Amino acid sequence: MRIRGTIRRSLGRLEPPPRVVDWSLLVVVLAEAATGLVSFTVGTPDGWPVFWLHRSLGLAIVVLLGWKLARVRHRLLDRRLWRRSTALSVLTLVATVGTIATGALWVVGVDVRVSYWTLLSVHVGFGLLLVPLVASHAVTRFRPPRRVDFEERRTAVQYGLLLIAGAIGYRLQQGANALLSTPGADRRFTGSQPREGEGNGAFPVTSWVADDPDPIDRTNYRLSVTGLVAAPREFDADELAGNDETSALLDCTSGWYTVQEWGGIRVGDLLEAAGGVERGDDGASDDRSARGAYVRFVSVTGYRWTLPVAEAEDALIATHVGGDRLAHGHGGPARLVAPGRRGFQWVKWVTRIEVRAERDPAQWVVTLVSGFD
C-alpha cells in the first residue's frame, strides 16, 4: 500500500495541467498517424527510428490517457453529467483503447485473424478512425491552450521523461519477449511476423483493397517495355523465365514477411534487351525530359509503382517462386520483386514497364483505388 501511494504521488507530481494533457493527446495521436503511415514506406533497417518513435509515443499515450481518465472519470460515470458531446468522447475513448490494445497485442506476438485481417490491419483501421474522432473531440470539448501552460520548464522536463519512459518500456518489452520467447520475438524491425516455407503455398495472397483480376493465360501473356528506351519491345513469359534467381524478403504492411527464392529476369537486362535506357544526351543540349530516370511497373489492373532507374535495374521480374511457377494469386505470370521495398510496391501481374523522365506521385492514389469501378 505504501508503494502504491508513493507511485501515485510521484505520478501526480509529474502530471501536467489538464489543458496540456488534452492538447498533448491530440498532438501525439497525429504524430502516431504520421509515423504509422510513414513506417509503411520503410523497408530497410536504417529506417528503424520511425518504428521506435511510433512505439514510444504509443506508450506515452497510455500515460497521458491515464491522467486524462483519472480527471474525467466522474463525467463519464455520472449520467447527470452527460452531454451531447459525451457520445463522441466515449467513441474516441473506445477507438483509443482499441488502437492501443491491438498495437500492444501485436507487439507481444499475438497473431489472431479477424476474417482475413491481421491484428495489425485492425490496429491501422482503429488508428485511422481515431484521427477524425480526436480532432472533432478537440473541437467540441477542448479549451484553447494558454501560453503559460507550455512556458514552464517543468512541462518540457515532463515530456522528456515521458518519451524516455516510453523508450525504456519498449526495450523492456523486447527483453521480455525474448526471455519468454513469445511469438513477438521473431518480429522484424518493421513489426512483421515470419511466414516460413518455400513457394506459392508458404505465404498469403495479399491484394490491396479491391485488386482482383481474372487469371492471365500464360501463352497469350506479353510484357511490354516502353517509354524512354531505344527499342521498345514485348516479351513473352518464356523469355522472362530462367534468366536470374535471387533470394529476397517480402514484407507486407499487414504484418507478415517471408524470404523466398525468386526466379525470372533482372530488370536491368530487360531494359538492355529493349535497347537500353535513353540518357537524353545525344542532342545538342541536354534534354531532361528525354532522359530515363524512373521505371514504372504497371499491372494488368492499373495498379503501379515507380522506382529510380538504378534501383529498378537491380530489381527482378519474377515468374517463379521457390522453384514453382508463380501462382495467379501471387502475380503470375510475372511480378515485380523489389528488394528493400515494402510488399505493396511489389506490383503483381506486371504487363507494362515504362521508362520515364519523371517520378509518379499519383501512384499513391492509384494504388489505393485500384480495382474499384
Ligand X SMILES: Nc1nc2c(c(=O)[nH]1)N[C@H]1C(S)=C(S)[C@@H](COP(=O)(O)O)O[C@H]1N2
What is the bridge-based pairing of β-strands 113-114 and 117-118? antiparallel
Minimum distance between the CB of residue 326 and ligand X, rounded to whole angstroms? 8
Residue 243 beta carbon to ligand X: minimum distance, rounded to whole angstroms: 20
Per-residue x/- marks for ligand X, 215-254, CB under 6 A? Answer: -------------------------------------x--
Q: If contact means CB under 5 to 8 A according to the sort of partner, which of Mo ion, ligand X, none does residue 339 touch?
A: none
On whether the CB atoms of residues 59 and 166 are closer than 8 A, the answer is yes
Binding site for Mo ion (CB under 5 A): 206, 252-253, 343-344
Which of ligand X, Mo ion, none does residue 203 bind to, with CB < 5 to 8 Å depending on kind? ligand X
Decide which of ligand X, Mo ion, none touches 348; Cβ closer than 5 to 8 Å per partner kind. Answer: ligand X
Cα separations in angstroms, 203 against 174, 193, 255, 259, 373: 25, 11, 12, 9, 28
Instruction: Indicate the residue among 191 and 343 with the shorter CB distance to Mo ion.
Output: 343
Tell me how crowded residue 74 is: count the other CB atoms within 10 A of its CB: 9
Distances (CA, A) of 163 to 13, 77, 154, 169: 17, 31, 14, 10
Q: How far is the CB of 48 from ligand X (least distance, A)?
A: 20
Binding segment toward ligand X, per CB under 6 A, in 9-17, 110-118, 259-267, 297-305: 297-305
Answer for which of 60, 122, 303, 332 binds ligand X (CB under 6 A) is 303
C-alpha cell at 287: 534534354
Burial class (CB in 10 A: 0-12, 13-18, 19+), 156: exposed
Stretch that binds ligand X, among 15-23, 102-110, 133-141, 197-205 (CB under 6 A): 197-205
Least distance to ligand X, CB of residue 207, Å? 3
Question: Quick one: what does residue 347 bind among ligand X, Mo ion, none, with the CB cut-off 5 to 8 Å set by partner type?
Answer: ligand X
Determine which residue in the list 203, 257, 262, 297 makes contact with ligand X, applying CB under 6 A: 203
Minimum CB separation of residue 98 from ligand X in Å reads 23
92 binds ligand X (CB under 6 A): no
327-356: which residues touch ligand X (CB under 6 A)? 329-331, 343-344, 346-349
Min CB(253)–Mo ion separation in Å: 5
Q: Which stretch binds ligand X (CB under 6 A): 46-54, 105-113, 221-229, 295-303?
A: 295-303
Residue 126 makes contact with ligand X by CB under 6 A? no
Residue nearest to ligand X (CB): 343
208 near ligand X, judged by CB under 6 A: yes
At 259, which amino acid appears? V
Nearer to ligand X, 102 or 363 (CB): 363
43 contacts which partner out of ligand X, Mo ion, none, CB within 5 to 8 A by kind? none
Contact partner at residue 205 from ligand X, Mo ion, none, CB < 5 to 8 Å by partner kind: ligand X
Nearest-approach distance from CB 207 to Mo ion, in angstroms: 8
Instruction: Tell the smallest beta-carbon distance from residue 24 to ligand X (Å).
Output: 33
135 binds ligand X (CB under 6 A): no
The 3-state secondary structure of the chain, one letter per residue? CHHHHHHHHHHHHHCCCHHHHHHHHHHHHHHHHHHHHHHCCCCCHHHHHHHHHHHHHHHHHHHHHHHHHHHHHHHHHCHHHCCHHHHHHHHHHHHHHHHHHHHHHHHCCCCCEECCEEHHHHHHHHHHHHHHHHHHHHHHHCCCCCHHHHHCHHHHHHHHHHHHHHHHHHHHHHHHHHHCCCHHHHCCCCCCEECCCCCHHHCCCCCCCCCCCCCCCCCCCEEEEEECECCCEEEEHHHHCCCEEEEEEEEECCCEEEEEEEEEEEHHHHHHHCCCECCCCCCCCCCHHHCCCEEEEEECCCCEEEEEHHHHHCCEEEEEECCEECCHHHCCCCEEECCCCCHHHCCCCEEEEEEECCCCCCHHHHHHHCCCC
Residue 177 contact among Mo ion, ligand X, none, beta carbon within 5 to 8 Å by kind: none
Residues at the contact surface with ligand X, assessed by CB under 6 A: 203-208, 211, 252, 299, 301, 303, 329-331, 343-344, 346-349
